[in-house]
Amino acid sequence: MADDCIFCQIAGGKIPARVVFQDEDVMVFRDLTPKAPSHLLVIPKRHISSLAETDDADSGLLGKLLHRAVETARQEGLDKGFRTVINTGPEGGQTVGHLHLHVIGGRQMTWPPG
């Protein structure tokens, strides 16, 4: 847990969020500033600052996060499709320094995202 990390604080129940799923390793909650009708964030409860900070030992956890993204999309009824995004580092557009996977859907997505 990183004391100054907003997602660690959400994972620890210290600040509120609209949580839709959690188990011992993973939490899913609604994005504060949704970019589509469904916009959720899948995070590891353990502090990992970005995808670039993961290694082989994290393979199981990364698989769990991806699987949870699929389950989240199912729960949201995104049967026509959805987008998963992991922004990494400043040039990747990452603004919160705790690994998170966006699950976005409920409208037509365009490519490239900009």
Please, which residue, 18 or 57, has the CB nearer to ligand DGP? 18
- Would you say 43 and 27 are in contact if contact means Cβ atoms under 8 Å apart? yes
Active site amino acids = 100
Please identify, using beta-carbon distances, which residue of 61 and 96 lies nearer to ligand DGP. 96
Q: Quick one: 28 or 78, whose CB is closer to ligand DGP?
A: 28
Binding site for ligand DGP (CB under 6 A): 6, 17, 29-33, 41, 87, 93-96
Shortest Å, Cβ 94 to ligand DGP: 4
Shortest Å distance, C-beta 74 to ligand DGP: 21
